Amino acid sequence: MRMSTTIYLNGNIYTMDTKLPRAEAIAIDNNNGRILAVGTSDEVRRVGGQHTDLIDLHGRTMLPGFIDAHIHLLDTAHRAHHIDAGNCISEDAAAEMVRERTTHTPPGNWILGGHWDKNLWPGGNFPTRASLDAAAPDHPVALWSKDGHMLWVNSLALQRAGITAATPQPETGAILRDGAGEPTGVLQEEDATALVYKVIGAHDAELNKILMRRALKELQKSGITTIHNIEGDTSLNLFKELRASGELGVRVQMILPRQSLPQLRTEGINNDENDLLRVGGIKIFADGTLGSQTAAMLEGFEGTNNYGILTVPEQEMKDIVSDATEMGLIIAIHAIGDRAAQVALNSIERAQQLIAEQGTPSDPASGLRYRLEHVQLITPADLERMRRLGVIASVQPFHAVADRDIAERYWGKRHRHAYAYRSMRDLGIPLALGSDAPVEIFDPLRILYAATLRRDAMIQRPAWLPDQALPIIDALWGYTLGAAYAGAEEQHKGSLSVGKLGDAVVLREDILSVPQEKMSENGVQATIIGGNIVFGNL
């Protein structure tokens, strides 16, 4: 018989609730998955009745479940299926992987993959179609870059997409060309990459489901109980299927592309009062990336006249943000360069001014949140403006340790103000932590290590800009209550408090007491969603 209550006893529980920061025990109602009591083992034991399941934590540490505030899960799932050129040290090495794939791919079929990073190759030059033509003359090839903002294709792929020397340059993207005006095989940003993506077509639905199931299991093993998934309708519909079949296993909040705004305005958001899958808002790209040198900059990339790409014109950005504000949505704006951050904040400030002029009262229950995603380079004045406007910094600390070399290379002295998490925290800007997988790893313990020590646990290098390291308690807040706030769900998630959802992670050791250098080695012993153990065995 299914017990009506589960009580976890004798634990070292960090609740992230300022009213009761530490506890020994927690009781969860199995009928609705919400917390009934938090306190000492003796206090909480009294809540249990005849149908109570008692689980002894034996002093292990429990935290609120980790919330990844920025992930692309279907893309992450597909990385395991396609060519992964992440470890390739040259263009030729990546092309050789393509050559090998042709031996078991029928001629004419697409060869897909990516994660290549030209910044790690000798010279750091952009690849060309010539190497892919030699490796796969009979297959169209499309390989996305590590950051997902560039596509490297061969001549057959260009031909299928109808891209020639006569193809106009996209307004907010780029088709790289040689001295004769011919496409080189590299496309930058959505306006350009979409020309190829639309002829590739959709992935097989059954394959999507198989790969997504695997990815969800990996999230559970990592202690992640909620994700803010930044993808489109394909992922949303897949999550709906998995929820209906009881296979979702992780709570999902969808942040849909800005192109979904008209549909959301017409149809509204119907979340059916369910706690597993919700639609929260929209994502807007303000610029490209550092790795692709398409981030929108106030000054050119070091030693160049390249100011990056503003992927949405400023007036259009203002219109989108104002419309979404009126609807009370989460508005997540990708902003990596300092110009992109400035344009995004201009749009947010204008939307707030319009609301004030209309005299519309603020609804505390609204799902409205303003978020800047990544915020890798931003001026001090705009940091202060973020604080004043109440804008959340949705950041991914592993970027800081992965990007350190290219930040110094392409931003020069400006890199000293990059990935400024401690400055944000000291100003009182709310932080939400995430991974940006598949660009980087989604392991919260390694990401917390990066946030607090400013280096990668797997690579022996000195800390990078250590003055911007976060205290561990602030990093944990960003992965729990801060991320819940960024999703307008702080009333339901993010702390182990009475009435909230019983989502938690159990670690082998005390994350606040063990040496920080050992943090990434601390194993996830169990992941709990709504009181039920979905990973591990206590």
**pLDDT over 70 (residue 272):** no
**DSSP-derived secondary structure for 317-355:** HHHHHHHHHHTT-EEEEEE-SHHHHHHHHHHHHHHHHHH
- 379 pLDDT band, cuts 50/70/90, is very high
> What is the per-residue pLDDT for 365?
55
**pLDDT over 70 (residue 296):** yes
Distance of CA 373 to CAs 26, 234, 478, Å?
34, 22, 14
Contacts of 56 by beta carbon, 8 Å cutoff, 6+ apart: 9, 10, 538
> What is the per-residue pLDDT for 438?
96
Compute how many other C-beta atoms are within 10 angstroms of the C-beta atom of residue 123. 8
Residue among 429, 377, 430, 423 at smallest CA distance from 399:
377
Fold adopted by 1-64+494-538: Urease, subunit C; domain 1 (2.30.40)
Domain 1-64+494-538 and domain 81-200, same fold? Reply is no
What residue spans define the domains of the chain?
A: 1-64+494-538, 81-200
Q: Can you read off the two tokens belonging to residue 143?
A: 């390989």
**pLDDT over 70 (residue 406):** yes
**pLDDT over 60 (residue 200):** yes
Give the percent of the chain with pLDDT over 70: 97
Mean pLDDT of 21-47: 95
| Distance of alpha carbon 537 from alpha carbon 364, whole angstroms | 40
Mean pLDDT of 136-143: 97
**pLDDT over 80 (residue 404):** yes
Is CATH 3.30.70.260 correct for 81-200? no
For tokens 């339901």, the residue is 492
Q: Can you read off the two tokens belonging to residue 527?
A: 């992941």
> What is the per-residue pLDDT for 2?
60
**pLDDT over 50 (residue 448):** yes
Question: What is the pTM for the complete model shown?
Answer: 0.94
DSSP code for 470: P
Specify the range with the lowest mean pLDDT, choosing from 355-359, 404-408, 438-442, 505-509: 355-359
**pLDDT over 70 (residue 352):** yes
Contacts of 197 by beta carbon, 8 Å cutoff, 6+ apart: 142, 151
> What is the per-residue pLDDT for 244?
93
pLDDT in tens, 449-458: 999 999 999 9
Stated as kind and residue range, the H or E segment containing 38 is strand 35-39
> What is the per-residue pLDDT for 201?
82
CB-side neighbour CA atoms (13 Å) of 255: 31
Cis peptide upstream of residue 107 (ω within 30 degrees of 0):
no
- 361 pLDDT band, cuts 50/70/90, is low
DSSP code for 182: -
**pLDDT over 80 (residue 270):** no
Give the percent of the chain with pLDDT over 90: 88
Contacts of 168 by beta carbon, 8 Å cutoff, 6+ apart: none
- 1 pLDDT band, cuts 50/70/90, is very low
**pLDDT over 70 (residue 364):** no
> What is the per-residue pLDDT for 202?
79
| Distance of alpha carbon 293 from alpha carbon 307, whole angstroms | 8
Residue type, 458: M
- 47 pLDDT band, cuts 50/70/90, is confident
- 20 pLDDT band, cuts 50/70/90, is very high
Average pLDDT, the chain: 94
Mean pLDDT of 134-158: 96
Compute how many other C-beta atoms are within 10 angstroms of the C-beta atom of residue 4. 14
For tokens 């973020």, the residue is 386
